[in-house]
Structure 1
Amino acid sequence: MRLTDHTDYSLRVLIHLNQIKKITTLAELSKTLKISRNNLIKVSNQLSKLDYIISIRGRNGGIELNPKTKTTTLKEIISHTEENFHLAECFSAGGTSCTFVRGCKLKKSLSKALENFLNSLANTTLNDVTPSSKSRS
Structure 2
Amino acid sequence: MQLTQFTDLGLRVVMHLAATAADSSPSTKLVAEQLNLSYAHTTKVVARLSELGVVTARRGRGGGLTITELGRTASIGWLARQLEGDEEVVDCEGGKPCPLRSGCSLRKVLRDAQESFYAALDSVTIADLATAQRQPVLLNLTRPAV
Change (3 A) 1:58 1:95: closer
Distance 2:19 2:7 in 1: 18
Residue type of the partner of 2:129?
A: V
Q: Tell me, yes or no, if the aligned pair for 1:89 and 1:96 is still in contact at 8 Å.
A: no
Pairwise CA distance, 1:95: 8.5
Which residue is equivalent to 1:9? 9
Distance 1:57 1:3, change over 3 A: same
Flag the structure with higher helix content. Answer: 1
What is the aligned partner in structure 1 of residue 123 from structure 2?
123
Identical-pair percentage: 29
Instruction: Show structure 1 runs of 5+ residues with no match.
Output: none
1:31 and 1:5 map into 2 onto residues whose CA distance is 17
Q: Does structure 1 residue 112 correspond to structure 2 residue 118?
A: no
Q: For CA contacts below 8 A with separation 6 or more, give which structure has more relative contact order.
A: 2
Shift of 1:96: 6.2
1:102, distance to aligned residue in structure 2 (A): 2.4
Unaligned runs of 5+ in 2: 142-146
Which residue does 1:42 correspond to in 2?
44
Cα RMSD (Å) of the superposition?
Answer: 1.9
TM-score (norm 1): 0.87
Q: Residue 29 of structure 1 corresponds to which residue in structure 2?
A: 31
Match of residue 77 from structure 1: 79
Q: Give the length in aligned residue pairs.
A: 135
